[in-house]
Amino acid sequence: MPENQIELIAHLARRAGFGATREELEEYAGIGYEATVDKLLDTSTPQWMSEYLIRRYHPDESSMLAGLSGLEAWLYRMITTDTPLLEKMTLFWHGIFATGYPKVLNAKPLSDQIRMFKKYAMGDFRNLLVEMAKDPAMIIWLDNQQNHKDSINENFGRELLELFSMGVGNYTEDDVKECARAFTGWTIGNCEYMELRSARDSDWPYGRISWHYEFDANDHDDGEKEFLGRKGTFNGEDIVKIICEQEAAARFIARHLYHFFVADEPPVPQWPYQPPRDPEAIDQIVQAYFDNKYDIRSVMKFVFNSDFFKSEDCWYEKVKSPAELVTGVMRLTESVDRPQYEHSSRQLRMQYMGQTLSNPPSVEGWDGGTTWIDTGALVERMNFASEELGRVETPGSNELFNKIAFEGDGDIDADRIVDICLKHLGTIDVKDDTRSKLVNYVSKNGVIKVEDQGIDEIGKEKIAGVVKLIASTPEFQRA
């Protein structure tokens, strides 16, 4: 099996998932690149750690009194899922429709929103936008419960156009007002009580109560509106349809997809002033969006099979987000097969790296790219990856030791050990200079011997040392 084929699939696995083990990559290579894309796109029967198990051992991931428990449950799903692309798409939409705990102050609706993203992430973009507009956490986040027939609140309408679908410069202030009118009456049930509980962060007397969407027909403005050049008695669904037909919406989503899956773009606020890194690729994604009638799964199929995605020019051109890094590392350890007391510390480590899911820095979400890297965050990223991957007792480490032991009795060549470790960690292609330093490290630490098809504890620690170093390389920290 050609190594370059596996390397290409490793690139796909890093972008469409959280990386993959060597065994998974070889399995993918066995069916070929395009079939692998299809396999990753098939998210019809996702499996992950049993929800019942999570609820049993972590009750707060079941009812969520605390703000971060929902994301801990999500982290379990990301680490253990057999459909990683679905989780990546969910992360993608969460980054765009960024909704945060400090204002919502009820973790269950936020967790429900993530669940909604997962359901609609890869379908018709129009459905996703409508569901997003009906989402209780989003309604509270952008004050749509205060958007009344006789007194509109523009917040949701404005962000729908600016941050969620088209970007500034593609609509007028009048469009914002008309858009807001169309979404009047889109609120949550028991609004007064739920808002008050939220404002007081009240979980009394019996814990949190989930929120539900409610349409208040009496508070809905069903008069005629003029929106993006069209006239009619538009409601929210009509507005979404009109938005999705706009080239600006296609271009906006295309650039987001490119930014998240292909190569880092500048932060969104700079988009009106800075052209895309690859305008031709954006044009192609726009075309795929219209050709496939807004079906996101089909657009993703186009992206992953495109030349611009496969090009080596974009390999390792993305900095992994903390969520991607933590998930990818834990998947490689293969150690999360059941609920663990230590799990909550992993999301804390993610926070220290600069990302708290369901708590974005602003409504614009996370900028991503090199903004993930500052001195403190980089040290945290390297420490986390090294600590977790350097544990000799994990199933992932044992697999690595077995692979090295399989080389046969005697001293193992340093170059060969580095090669096996790089492949084991997802077929990482490091620069020649980095590679030679890794080889030097192995050589300096003395030979690693295989005796009776096994490696002794000292040998395992030496190998773990190599793994820790690889986890700190720019190539491992990137996707």
Partner 1 sequence: MATKGLEQGQSLRYVRTVGMTTMRGRGFYYPIDSAMSNSGRLYVLSRSFERAVSDSMRVTMLNEDGEYFGVFGSAGIGDGQFRWPCGIAINDQNRVFVTDEYLNRVSVFNESGEFIKHWGSEGEIEGMFHGPSGIVFDQDNNVLIADSRNHRIQKFTSDGEFLQSFGEYGNGDGCLNLPWGLGVDQQGEIFVADWGNDRIQRFTPNGEFVAKYGSPGRQEGELMKPAGVIVNQEGYIYVADWGNERVQVFGPDGEFVQKIRGQATNSEWAEDFLEVNVEEAGARERANLEPDIDYFNDDPHEESSHIEKLFWGPVSLMLDSESRLFITETNRHRIQVYERDN
Q: Is 65 in the site for partner 1 (CB under 8 A)?
A: yes
Does the N-terminal peptide bond of residue 360 adopt cis geometry, omega within 30 degrees of 0? no
Q: Which two tokens stand for residue 405?
A: 């032991």
Q: Report, in this order, helix, strand and coil percent for the chain, each rounded to 5.
A: 60, 5, 35
DSSP state of 369: G
Stretches 207-215, 241-249, 362-370, 455-463: which one binds partner 1 (CB under 8 A)? Answer: 207-215
Q: Quick one: CA dihedral 214, 220, 222, 226, positive or negative?
A: negative
Q: Is 116 in the site for partner 1 (CB under 8 A)?
A: yes
Q: Is 237 in the site for partner 1 (CB under 8 A)?
A: no
Of these, 5, 7, 33, 62, which contacts partner 1 (CB under 8 A)? 62
DSSP state of 81: -
Least spacing, CB of residue 304 vs partner 1, in Å = 29
Using CB under 8 A as the binding criterion, the count of chain residues that bind partner 1 stands at 40
- Give CA–CA dist 141/97, Å, rounded: 10
Of these, 2, 205, 229, 408, which contacts partner 1 (CB under 8 A)? 205
Q: Is 359 in the site for partner 1 (CB under 8 A)?
A: no
Of these, 196, 223, 274, 454, which contacts partner 1 (CB under 8 A)? 196
Q: Which two tokens stand for residue 314?
A: 């974009």
Q: State which H helix or E strand residue 418 sits in.
A: helix 414-424
End-to-end CA distance of the chain: 23
| SS3 label, residue 215 | strand
Asked if 257 and 299 count as a contact pair (C-beta separation under 8 A), the reply is yes
Stretches 53-61, 138-146, 153-161, 468-476: which one binds partner 1 (CB under 8 A)? Answer: 53-61
Q: Is 230 in the site for partner 1 (CB under 8 A)?
A: no
Q: Is 31 in the site for partner 1 (CB under 8 A)?
A: no
Of these, 11, 197, 331, 460, which contacts partner 1 (CB under 8 A)? 197
Which CB sits closer to partner 1, 69 or 386?
A: 69
Which CB sits closer to partner 1, 198 or 327?
A: 198
Residue type, 217: A
Q: Is 202 in the site for partner 1 (CB under 8 A)?
A: yes
Q: What is the rounded (10 degree) CA torsion for 379, 381, 384, 390?
A: -90
Q: Please list every residue from 282 through 301 that binds partner 1, using CB under 8 A.
A: none
Of these, 38, 39, 55, 441, which contacts partner 1 (CB under 8 A)? 55
Of these, 153, 246, 292, 344, which contacts partner 1 (CB under 8 A)? 344
Q: Which distant-in-sequence residues (6+ apart) come within 8 Å of 301 by Cβ?
A: 37, 38, 41
Of these, 23, 31, 42, 56, which contacts partner 1 (CB under 8 A)? 56
Q: Report CA 177 to chain centroid distance, whole Å.
A: 32
Which CB sits closer to partner 1, 191 or 248?
A: 191
Q: What is the CA radius of gyration of the chain?
A: 24
Write out the residues near partner 1 by the rule CB under 8 A: 52, 55-60, 62-63, 65-66, 68-69, 108, 112, 115-116, 189-190, 192-194, 196-197, 200, 202-210, 212, 214, 338, 341, 343-344
